[in-house]
Amino acid sequence: MKERFLLVRPYYGVNIHTDAQGEFGTVLHSRDVFPDLPLINAATILNDSDDYSAVLLDAYVEGKILPDDLLQKISSVKFDKLIIKTAAATIKSDLELARMIKDSIPGSYVMLAGQAVRTLKSWICKNTRVDEVIDEPLDKYIYRYVNGREGTINDMPVPDYSLVDYKSYRDDNDKIRLTVLASRSCPLNCAYCPYIQYYNAYESRDVDKVMEDIRSLVALGVDIIQFRDQFFTCDKERIMDLCRRIISEGIKISWICETELSSLDEELIDLMKEAGLFLVCFDIKSGNKEILGKYKSNIVDKAGQKKTVDMIRSKGVKTMAFYTIGFPEDTWITLYETFKLAEYMDSDIVAFNEFTDFHLDGMEDMTPDVFCSFQNAGNSCMKMNLTHDEIRYAIELFSMKYTESHDSVEKAFAYNYTITMDNKNVISKIAECECDLMELSNRVRRIRGLE
């Protein structure tokens, strides 16, 4: 008799990219729906084995079902163990969902995964009836559980996206976008990096296996592949090899990667473009020298970065730069320096992201209050120059100004204002019922006009 697992990713009315930020998750102010790759890998490992089976219930692709309907679905599945994939921004609702499952299905074995529960493990064990807290990446845990030994990134399976309605993982342009991992973690050592504290040492997947991943996604009819590596071009020769293989096999696919700008040169970009690269994302962080010195380990001069951005754009590859707004040391002056740097870099797309203090290890008496519900912010005791409201105002202002100057006022309104306001509206109405999931479900339906 196989041991049956039910893997659940809940949805509470707010769009969250749950495997971002080292699986703390990020609240998205866009309509993109990202898969959670470690969750899909875990389900694949279980189903590939003789002794286990898994059902994957991703509320995002089941029509964004809300907690009350999700509970009904869960009740209709026979399982021995259930795992909820949590996120920092929804941890209180995730804990409440776990409680409701324990109440409604007597004797159920409920486990939690995700980096937020790693940091809250001792509080959860003392204060809830959750049976097990998985304090490492879920796919690594499941690999060991099934095989009785540690698994490397090369032991991970080709993710079986057919376990879910993968065609619902779509980007803002309604293209099917699926993710792949060609490497994990990062050899750079920036302070406060949530990836390196969760994934530990950098590891890369054999090019043969990455090719298998790519072929399987192409066979599914994917429009875009997004490499979720933190530092995709860490090893230039390896990526050149991968690109040559894609080209020589005649695979026609559009893909995106995230990497360090300083690792890119013309030879590499030419080959990556020929292999299908259309968007490269990179982290610039801050326009202030002192802040950069504290938070970024690999500092490159602005002129050099600008030259690389221009080179990439001249090749017809789009560029997306990330900037962090609201470091504890940030003031209005340093924020403005960051905005001016973004204008100078002139990437095609920008993301101004709120700084989150996810460096919580060692903090005493940590409770779920350390995370702000439905926000990309922490509540640690870190001393900040600016308030969360001031930081969010700056993010909205910069996003709108940038879009307006690069596109149009209409686009700034449609993209930065309308979607953000819609999210804010939902968040303000559900924040107070994060632990009353029936009321939360009703409110989201009312706001979305679904009843």
Binding site for ligand SF4 (CB under 6 A): 186, 188-190, 193, 195-196, 230-231, 260, 283
Q: In terms of CB distance, is 169 or 195 closer to ligand SF4? A: 195
| CB contact at 8 A, 30 and 15 | yes
CA 51, CA 33: separation in Å to the nearest integer? 32
Contact partners, residue 340, CB within 8 Å, separation at least 6? 287
Q: In terms of CB distance, is 213 or 260 closer to ligand SF4? A: 260
* 269 to 35, 88, 272, 309, 313: CA distances (angstroms): 27, 35, 5, 11, 10
CA 90, CA 320: separation in Å to the nearest integer? 27
Residue 354 beta carbon to ligand SF4: minimum distance, rounded to whole angstroms: 15
Q: In terms of CB distance, is 170 or 184 closer to ligand SF4? A: 184
Q: In terms of CB distance, is 295 or 374 closer to ligand SF4? A: 295
Nearest to 10 by CA among 85, 101, 105: 85
Q: In terms of CB distance, is 161 or 198 closer to ligand SF4? A: 198
What is the maximal distance between C-alpha atoms in the chain? 64
DSSP-derived secondary structure for 67-101: HHHHHHHHHTS--SEEEEE--GGGHHHHHHHHHHH
Q: In terms of CB distance, is 46 or 325 closer to ligand SF4? A: 325
Contact partners, residue 254, CB within 8 Å, separation at least 6? 223, 224, 225, 276, 278
Q: In terms of CB distance, is 46 or 196 closer to ligand SF4? A: 196
- Tell me the three state secondary structure of residue 112: strand
The structure tokens listed for 451 are 């009843």
Q: What is the residue type of 39?
A: L
| CB contact at 8 A, 203 and 185 | yes
CA 178, CA 35: separation in Å to the nearest integer? 7
Q: In terms of CB distance, is 128 or 197 closer to ligand SF4? A: 197
| CB contact at 8 A, 363 and 380 | yes
Q: In terms of CB distance, is 196 or 426 closer to ligand SF4? A: 196
CA 184 to the chain's CA centroid:
13
CA 63, CA 203: separation in Å to the nearest integer? 35
DSSP, res 412: I
| CB contact at 8 A, 138 and 116 | no
Q: In terms of CB distance, is 110 or 234 closer to ligand SF4? A: 234
Contact partners, residue 107, CB within 8 Å, separation at least 6? none
Q: In terms of CB distance, is 52 or 195 closer to ligand SF4? A: 195
The structure tokens listed for 169 are 């993982």
Residues in the chain: 451
**φ, ψ at 260 (rounded to 5°):** -90, 130
Q: In terms of CB distance, is 190 or 211 closer to ligand SF4? A: 190
Considering only CA atoms, give the Rg of the chain: 21
- Tell me the three state secondary structure of residue 56: strand
